[in-house]
Structure 1
Amino acid sequence: MSQFSTEEMQALTQAVVRHMDEWNISGEEMLLILGLDSEVRPRHLAMYRNGDKAFPQTPEMLNRIEHIVGIADALRTTFPFSSQMRVLWLRKPHRRFQRRTPLAVMLEEGADGLMKIRIEVDCAYGYAINDALHAASQAGKAAA
């Protein structure tokens, strides 16, 4: 996993918070999606938003960041002219999530929920995951 410089991590942090701000979610919801520890409070998000503090460079955080950026990019591709439609998609119950909203899936299931939402909205990522699973299955059969 690549290491980012302090400046790169601050810029990445700001971009991720900006994406979630565009989704009109609360500070508490941001903290849950990001998986930040319980010592971080919603009022601390201003430090991340302003670039005064960066998210930790842990594998878990970098995984979550990757999914959040992937979801944001896919929503921008799907709804290029309407930020309101992006927000609506996140808040509308979806049949593939047992009538839960994509936002609820992210909040309730953490990193796994982020991946589920990204697979749903980003078909290229979904195909890549499917291909990787298929290749792993074939390798397992060949080894047996």
Structure 2
Amino acid sequence: MSDLTHDERLALTQRTMGLLESWGLSAADMMVLLQLPESVKARNIARFREEEPFPDTVDVNRRISYLLRIEEALHTYFPRNPEMRDMWVKRGNKQFGKRAPVAVMVEDGESGLISVLSHLDCTFAWDLTGSKTEYETTA
């Protein structure tokens, strides 16, 4: 995200905040999930909804990337039913020991984000296994 303009980062922040709010996360959970710096207080999380982009750190950017890929995968699973996207994230899932995917993401941190994304997006899971093939073009 470092190469994005202030307005692009703000738009990305607002999109991410909308996603997290649709999942019913508290400000404290948002802070944990995004691994926001300690200088950001829970009472100030509202400023990210309107006026300020998330801090431009490697950890925050990586987690935003995971969240947006999860959002895209949920759109693929439930293309016409936004309520099911939010419901899927909040319901217990056998894959995660009957924990809700949102709980897995908050409680397990980055590994939880990776677990949920791997479950939803087989291409991400495939890339994690090292099975990615590099194709060379011959001229």
Which bin holds the TM-score, normalised by the shorter protein? 0.7 to 0.9
Aligned length: 132
* Residue 4 (structure 1) shift: 2.1
Alignment of 1:91-110 (within 5 A): 91-110=90-109
Give yes or no for the alignment of 1:68 onto 2:86. no
Deviates more, 1:38-47 or 1:78-87: 38-47
* 1:98-139 deviation line (CA, Å, top 9, x unaligned): 221111111111111111111111122222222x2x46xxxx
In structure 1, stretches of 5+ residues that fail to align are 136-144
Amino acid at match of 2:123: A
Give yes or no for the alignment of 1:89 onto 2:88. yes
* Residue 38 (structure 1) shift: 4.0
> Do the aligned residues in 1 keep the contact of 2:23 with 2:90 (CA within 8 Å)?
no
1:119 corresponds in structure 2 to 118
Alignment of 1:1-144 (within 5 A): 2-50=2-50, 52-130=51-129, 132=130, 134=131
Higher helix proportion? 1
Deviates more, 1:15-24 or 1:2-11: 2-11
Q: What is the rounded CA distance, in whole Å, between the counterparts of 1:4 and 1:27 in structure 2?
A: 25
Q: Percent of aligned positions with the same letter in both sequences? A: 32
TM-score (norm 2): 0.83
* Residue 69 (structure 1) shift: 0.2
> Do the aligned residues in 2 keep the contact of 1:23 with 1:86 (CA within 8 Å)?
no
- 2:104 counterpart SS class: helix
Q: What is the rounded CA distance, in whole Å, between the counterparts of 1:42 and 1:88 in structure 2?
A: 25
In structure 2, stretches of 5+ residues that fail to align are 133-139
Q: What is the rounded CA distance, in whole Å, between the counterparts of 2:2 and 2:52 in structure 1?
A: 19
* Residue 3 (structure 1) shift: 2.6
- 2:75 counterpart SS class: helix
Deviates more, 1:100-109 or 1:60-69: 100-109
- 1:3 counterpart SS class: coil
Query: What's the Cα RMSD here?
Result: 1.9
Q: What is the rounded CA distance, in whole Å, between the counterparts of 2:17 and 2:32 in structure 1?
A: 13
> Do the aligned residues in 1 keep the contact of 2:23 with 2:102 (CA within 8 Å)?
no
* Residue 62 (structure 1) shift: 0.8
